[in-house]
């Protein structure tokens, strides 16, 4: 039995003895010296009740402690679940504080013999739980807003692609006007986006004997002659290169720089050319590249 329980039992015994003594009548026969038969004194009777009183106090203590620990243990489970689910949503500092309080509470569940300690700890643990819940709710609201914005940008990009496919009688989408040569076909695609093509065997000193291009600013794009060597090359790799270089010109015109996306500006440009209906030129792009390209297509130049 703990020290506090013994104090409770002693207190109860003292109260019982005091009540017993206070209730004793004045024995007038004894006062005049008349002998009386021996009988059990009130103190002896009270002491005989000590084991029963002690058991009662102990039982109440055990029940109160068990109830307090059960409530605290439920909060510990809630805190542990929240700690796991809040990763990446709440700050590390708040999650660390939650874990400290959860560990402290669990220690009381296992070791404490004081029924007053668990309720006090519950207050601290609940405060840590509510703090993390608040940060998670804020993160979820921001995430929902981000998803909604991405959906809006995607819808804008889809609408722009449909508009592009109707541009110049279908030339920008790959259609061929009657009597066109492959060279004229590619120039028509560039012209649909306000660009003109400068042809050479090795544009910007590169791509000799292959299909490639480059952009050096302004409204002129540089493309290799091999791009219009046949209808197959013109409608395939040639068209993709023209759209990629035209995308450089468009992005510069909208954002004031071709370096949208920083070191990944070529990837962003390839993503932009895909939004225009192209097939890309091999740089490849990830979701972030496409998000930047979609935003630029909608008129927003976001930081990479």
161 in a domain, yes or no?
no
In order along the chain (304 residues), what is the average pLDDT of each group of 10 residues?
48 43 42 48 59 68 81 91 93 94 90 87 93 93 84 69 46 61 94 94 92 95 96 95 96 94 95 92 93 92 78
192 in a domain, yes or no?
yes
149 in a domain, yes or no?
no
Q: In what order do the strands lie in the sheet with 213-215?
A: 196-200, 220-224, 213-215
Co-location of 225 and 100 in the same domain:
no
How many domains is the chain built from? 2
Q: Is 146 exposed, middle or buried (0-12, 13-18, 19+ CB in 10 A)?
A: exposed
In degrees and rounded to multiples of 5, residue 197 shows phi and psi of -105, 135
Co-location of 171 and 125 in the same domain:
no
Co-location of 99 and 197 in the same domain:
no
Co-location of 111 and 186 in the same domain:
no
- Stated length of the chain: 304
Co-location of 185 and 111 in the same domain:
no
302 in a domain, yes or no?
no
| pLDDT given for residue 41 in this prediction | 52
Co-location of 176 and 261 in the same domain:
yes
Co-location of 131 and 185 in the same domain:
no
Q: In terms of residue numbers, what domain contains 217?
A: 167-297
152 in a domain, yes or no?
no
31 in a domain, yes or no?
no
DSSP E strand boundaries for the chain? 196-200, 213-215, 220-224
């Amino acid at each position: 039995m703990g020290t506090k329980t013994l104090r409770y039992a002693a207190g109860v015994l003292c109260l019982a003895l005091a009540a017993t003594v206070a209730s004793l009548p004045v024995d007038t026969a004894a006062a005049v010296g008349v002998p009386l038969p021996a009988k059990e004194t009130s103190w002896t009777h009270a002491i005989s009740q000590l084991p029963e009183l002690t058991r009662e106090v102990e039982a109440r203590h055990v029940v109160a402690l068990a109830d307090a620990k059960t409530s605290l243990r439920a909060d510990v489970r809630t805190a542990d679940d929240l700690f796991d689910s809040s990763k990446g949503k709440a700050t590390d500092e708040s999650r660390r504080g939650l874990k400290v309080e959860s560990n402290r509470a669990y220690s009381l569940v296992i070791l404490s013999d004081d029924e007053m300690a668990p309720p006090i700890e519950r207050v601290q643990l609940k405060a840590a739980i509510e703090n993390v819940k608040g940060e998670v709710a804020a993160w979820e609201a921001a995430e929902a807003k981000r998803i909604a914005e991405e959906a809006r940008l995607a819808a804008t990009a889809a609408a722009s692609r449909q508009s592009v496919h109707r541009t110049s009688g279908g030339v920008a989408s790959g259609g061929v006007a009657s009597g066109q040569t492959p060279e004229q076909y590619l120039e028509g695609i560039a012209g649909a986006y306000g660009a003109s093509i400068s042809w050479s065997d090795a544009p910007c000193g590169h791509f000799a004997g292959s299909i490639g291009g480059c952009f050096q600013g302004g409204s002129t794009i540089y493309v290799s002659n091999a791009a219009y060597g046949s209808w197959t090359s013109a409608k395939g790799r040639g068209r993709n290169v023209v759209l990629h270089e035209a995308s450089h010109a468009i992005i510069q015109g909208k954002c004031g720089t071709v370096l949208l996306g920083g070191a990944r500006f070529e990837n962003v440009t390839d993503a932009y050319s895909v939004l225009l209906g192209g097939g890309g030129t091999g740089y490849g792009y990830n979701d972030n590249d496409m998000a930047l390209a979609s935003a630029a297509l909608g008129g927003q130049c976001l930081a990479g």
